[in-house]
Chain A
């Protein structure tokens, strides 16, 4: 409650003192709560500390195993890794996602951006917005140069036949999702694409096919000319009707 103002002169009015006290108390109570909440966050972070050791321990383990030296350290590392991985208690499972959020997505994500950004700048790849975009795409999509080559070597009205993703192609990460038409179309638009085997589904598109994308040696059967086996590259983009310069047909 606010007090009446003090009558004596020269002293601070009681209301001001009280207000200051209550303001001080207000801030103190707030800070007490901040400390409590801060401690909770700190405990959660400490609980996840072990998770953060894992990548470093794993790297050291594999490096040592490759060298085949220091068996004692290797055993120590193995035991420590197993100890962390075997900690599947409810609280660990409940809280380790927050380690991923803070340390992997936020902190490491930001650091990676800064590192890559500096790297691209040092190579002069950020001179235009588009060159920077391309450099980033190359960083993220392994097949980007191969896909760019398709765009650079075909006319805009090209229709490309593409082998379907069988167990070999779709399990090889070097192809990304190149065998999925919806994914491939992102990179080659306005060129069109169609999976080999879907010609009956899209007969008009199949009729317009102008190129065949060869993936892991698949697709040669769709060419209207024969490429000698010894001249067959595993991955290529070939015109469907006539061989490109450099390929000697029988």
Chain B
């Protein structure tokens, strides 16, 4: 039964992705379909909860069939052209990228190994039992999102998070799963496939394979591929939304506009603190709008990306009768002690240093170090060897997104009310902040691979590889 549920989710996601574009390869479609499908499943659950329909396997199958049929029906005319446009892989010798194949083979084994671990063990992490997995199980049992535990504050910290992640667990339980961690595995697969294809679009296949390998092996994130926590799935949405938006700003390809907007919308449908990414995306789209003056597109992007935030805010206020406000203390102002503490952790995380129980190298490997080294190399190269004006314009959208969202994310923790959170700041930095940093890894690696100097390097590698 679980297989039926997963297949329906993929079908729904694929039907919706095909509304956006028909130009996908198989791995791209598989990656996006799950992200889109499971997000829409959570929207269906919210809708059922509001209108009073019980969430069961029957009601979910019916909703899936109706929505998939509707999406395919609307798109019927265009889909007739699909067989000619769908990109099937080529198997001629000169089309095989052996370097890419080498890395994909290692990644496939690592993915297999971590998935064996993930699918075998039940969720036993503190936050999974106290929140995500519990919410999933009880939603499936009670057939509604606003479960009885809210009455006694027993829902756990994720109870005020938007429902995507715990609803994904509920979806698996509704379809009879004993352990719902197949959801974690599919999120990890989607993250890798989406990142690979987006980097490939902006650079080339070899660069994409090497960079995806580095992303996959980011130590702490790889460990999360066997857990039932929401940070890695959040990273998958930030990766898809942000990178597609960067490519759209670059190439003005309609496909990436809608992928960017919808995935960015799901970013705030999975966690609330990810609003910093949506804000950063709106900032770069806003700046690009000022340069190119496209009213309709800018408004569409903003509306799509912000809509889930409004829906969840209203649901919390009207149905759950709770808010996430009051968890911040903006009266802190500038506090040197607090600033030093936050900065100590940040510098350890970003520059492979050590602070408290944080070892940046152990957690994120070379990801951020490579980003900063290549940022410096690229700026120096552009200044000395190329047109100096490009220093400010090369991949400006990626850098602005990275730094704006990082500063905003840091400020969220700087201003956090320790009493309301029932946890000291250092502990929050060593747990929540540390895991939230995952979301920046794909963005940092995307820049590291696609900036002017790196792109030049990867083009040279490609010229050598193909003998062109």
Contacts and interface: CB of A to CB of B under 8 A. Distances in A.
A193 B148 CA distance: 13
B154 A192 contact: yes
A102 B359 CA distance: 18
A193 B154 CA distance: 8
Contacts, number: 155
Contact of A130 (B178, B220, B464): B178
B228 to A, nearest CB: 12
A158 to B, nearest CB: 13
A34 B102 contact: yes
Nearest to A22: B467
B113 A96 contact: no
A98 interface: yes
B365 A37 contact: no
A137 B124 contact: yes
B75 interface: no
Contacts of A30: 96-99, 465
A189 B124 contact: no
B453 to A, nearest CB: 19
A250 to B, nearest CB: 35
A29 B462 CA distance: 10
A136 interface: yes
B134 interface: yes
A26 B364 contact: no
Contact of A110 (B117, B124, B141, B217): B117
Interface residues of A, number: 55
Interface string A64-105: 000000000000000000000000001001111110111001
B119 to A, nearest CB: 9
Contacts of B94: 22-23, 26
Contacts of B220: 97
A93 B361 contact: yes
Interface in B304-360: 352, 354, 359-360
Given A34-B98, A106-B113, A106-B114, A205 B361 contact: no
A87 to B, nearest CB: 12
A186 B99 contact: no
Contacts of B354: 93
B364 A97 contact: yes
Interface string B66-94: 00000000000000000000000000011
A51 B111 CA distance: 23
B423 interface: no
A141 B126 CA distance: 11
A38 interface: yes
A194 B365 CA distance: 42
B93 A182 contact: no
B114 to A, nearest CB: 6
A193 B103 CA distance: 50
Nearest to B99: A33
A177 B126 contact: yes
B131 interface: yes
B152 A129 contact: no
B361 A189 contact: no
A109 interface: yes
A146 interface: no
Interface in A19-76: 22-23, 25-27, 29-31, 33-34, 37-38, 41
B99 A182 contact: no
B318 to A, nearest CB: 23
A169 to B, nearest CB: 16
B461 A33 contact: yes
A183 B129 CA distance: 6
A223 interface: no
B369 interface: yes
A82 B212 CA distance: 35
A101 B223 contact: yes
Contacts of A187: 129
A225 to B, nearest CB: 26
A182 B363 contact: no
Nearest to B219: A97
A136 B221 CA distance: 24
B286 interface: no
A140 interface: yes
B466 interface: yes
5 contacts: A34-B99, A93-B362, A113-B116, A116-B120, A189-B134
Interface of A: 22-23, 25-27, 29-31, 33-34, 37-38, 41, 90, 93-98, 100-102, 105-107, 109-110, 112-113, 116-117, 129-130, 132-133, 136-137, 140-141, 177, 180-183, 185-187, 189-190, 192-194, 202, 205
A-B residue pairs, 3 tightest by C-beta: A97-B219, A30-B98, A93-B361
Given A37-B99, A37-B102, 8 more contacts: A26-B467, A90-B361, A94-B352, A97-B362, A101-B217, A101-B223, A141-B124, A202-B152
